[in-house]
Amino acid sequence: MPLLPIILWTDALIFLLLAAIAGFVWYVRRHEHLRAPWWRVAQTPAAMSALVVLAVFIIVGLLDSVHFRLALPAAPGTQTDRTAGRNVAYAVDVKSVLDLLLASIADRPERTYSAPLATHAYAKEMVERPGTGGGPGTQIRDYPRLKYGGAHLRDPQRDRQADVLLTGFRGVALAIPLWLLVSIMLVAACTSAEQLASRAFWHALWSGKTEVPWRAILITLALLLLLVLPVALLSRHYHVLGTDKVGLDVLYLSLKSVRTALVIGTLTTLVMLPFSVLLGIMAGYLRGVVDDIIQYFYTTLSSIPGVLLIAAGVLVLQVYIETHPDLFPTSAQRADFRLLWLCIILGITSWTGLCRLLRGETLKLRELEYVQAAQAFGVSQWRIMSRHILPNVMHIVLIAVVMDFSGLVLAEAVLSYVGVGVDPSMISFGTMINAARLEMGREPMVWWSLASAFVFMLALVLAANLFADAVRDAFDPRVRVGIRKLRFARAEA
């Protein structure tokens, strides 16, 4: 089937960020002083376990960042050969690779709410039952059967529990050999042949005594596979996390929300870093009038409530979209542009904290001997800032970026909840929580939408925080000195 590739603004920026990360990794590998702190991060069990979880979220986000439009079928009686001159028409909906992989979940909507792994609707409706002996049917209030959830069962009340347990057991049985295969391939790709042939290496691996915490990595991978494979098998016949008000699968909505959270957490940093780094270093090194102007600027910006600036920016964008509809031919492009605009606004309103940190660190660095020597030799101010100041504040930049990621993910949820976040047509954790707000007040209470968004956000934010803690410990000189003193005291004791 012909496809029309669609490159959204955020898609291009995501892959540009991936290229920048690849270049950064290549640069770090060539410099020992940069490779050493990252090696300390790689030796931390909690950080590597968190990195495995983050890798799963990143893969989901990347699969959801390759977009295209499917070709519509040809009209009856027309030629299907593209060389015959027929103009191929494409669907309005923009799909992604993740949508194709989740087609079995996304293309099975129910009428309304249904509980996780349910076979019947969550609320009673008028159901017509056929009469006996060919007589007229009767209408009663009962829980109607779902169209897709458990449709393969003849007697859901009798067979559902056994079917769920059997399918889950099949997923576990598939997860074990797959885990062994992936583990062997992963260890073999990162370890020399001599170590693989040594029994001592495998004993140290399972004892947790290797430099790289392979045991923590493999245990985390095993837990993920034991969770993902049973859920994947169950989702073929059930709605594992239930359905929402319009019958959409909550598991599908949760997975689609991952990309929005990652975009908010990563692209916002691309906006805030130029402001923070440039203005912070200039204020600390140049001082005087430049310092006063920059301090006045970010103090004034910090005094304005961020929600008001974001709301004003979203309203301005909404007016621009309504007056230029020809620039946004599809709803996905319109929603993506609003997401990009939200990243820009969040970046503009969140750079002040890092700017203060860099200003204070630069004030200290400009008084050190090597900076004074560069000034004595007549080195220009911009060269001193780029060659001597910037490399020595990068640990602060890196720590701030990693630790701000979780805060930005939570900020998107809060902003979408109050109505000034992403476009309502875009799936995100914030829109899920906003929709679940009304569902929590009904009787019986619909809890699974809010619970699913909470669990996915908790896993993403917790993994990011654990990895951020390891990065901070590895790059912060004060923490490294404290760790050395503690180890020295323990050795003497």
pTM above 0.75?
Answer: yes
| Cis-peptide into 444, omega within 30 deg | yes
CA distance 186 to 174: 18
Structure tokens at 303: 């005094």
Considering the domain architecture, whether residues 413 and 379 belong to the same structural domain is answered as yes
Residue 85 has pLDDT above 60, yes or no: no
Average pLDDT over the chain, rounded to an integer = 84
Considering the domain architecture, whether residues 347 and 393 belong to the same structural domain is answered as yes
Eight-state DSSP code of residue 241: T
Residue with tokens 């993994």, as numbered in its chain: 463
Considering the domain architecture, whether residues 200 and 260 belong to the same structural domain is answered as no
Considering the domain architecture, whether residues 382 and 321 belong to the same structural domain is answered as yes
Domain-ending residue, one of 234, 268, 286: 234
Q: Does 53 fall in a domain?
A: no
Considering the domain architecture, whether residues 160 and 275 belong to the same structural domain is answered as no
Contact 366, 284 (CB under 8 A): yes
Considering the domain architecture, whether residues 200 and 284 belong to the same structural domain is answered as no
Q: Does 113 fall in a domain?
A: no
Instruction: Please work out, in degrees rounded to the nearest 5, the angle formed at the alpha carbon of residue 329 by the alpha carbons of 326 and 333.
Output: 115
Domain-ending residue, one of 234, 258, 283: 234
Q: Does 480 fall in a domain?
A: no
Q: Does 138 fall in a domain?
A: no
Closest listed residue to residue 406, CA positions, set 488, 334, 475, 462: 462
Closest listed residue to residue 332, CA positions, set 259, 236, 228: 259
132-146, 280-294, 315-329: lowest mean pLDDT where? 132-146
pLDDT value of position 77: 55
Q: Does 85 fall in a domain?
A: no
Of 449 and 306, the structure prediction assigns the larger pLDDT to 449
Considering the domain architecture, whether residues 289 and 431 belong to the same structural domain is answered as yes
Residue 138 has pLDDT above 80, yes or no: no
Considering the domain architecture, whether residues 188 and 326 belong to the same structural domain is answered as no
Contact 338, 319 (CB under 8 A): no
pLDDT value of position 396: 84
Considering the domain architecture, whether residues 260 and 200 belong to the same structural domain is answered as no
Considering the domain architecture, whether residues 393 and 316 belong to the same structural domain is answered as yes
pLDDT value of position 30: 86
Tens of pLDDT, residues 267-311: 888 888 888 899 999 999 888 898 899 888 888 888 888 778 888
Considering the domain architecture, whether residues 362 and 424 belong to the same structural domain is answered as yes
Tens of pLDDT, residues 416-436: 777 777 888 888 888 888 888
Q: Does 114 fall in a domain?
A: no
For residue 183, the enclosing domain spans: 156-234
Concatenated DSSP letters of 284-319: HHH-HHHHHHHHHHHHHHHHS-HHHHHHHHHHHHHH
Domain with residue 387: its CATH number is 1.10.3720.10
Number of domains making up the chain: 2
Contact 89, 72 (CB under 8 A): yes
Q: What is the pLDDT confidence band of residue 83, given thresholds at 50, 70 and 90?
A: very low
Q: What is the pLDDT confidence band of residue 384, given thresholds at 50, 70 and 90?
A: confident
Considering the domain architecture, whether residues 416 and 287 belong to the same structural domain is answered as yes
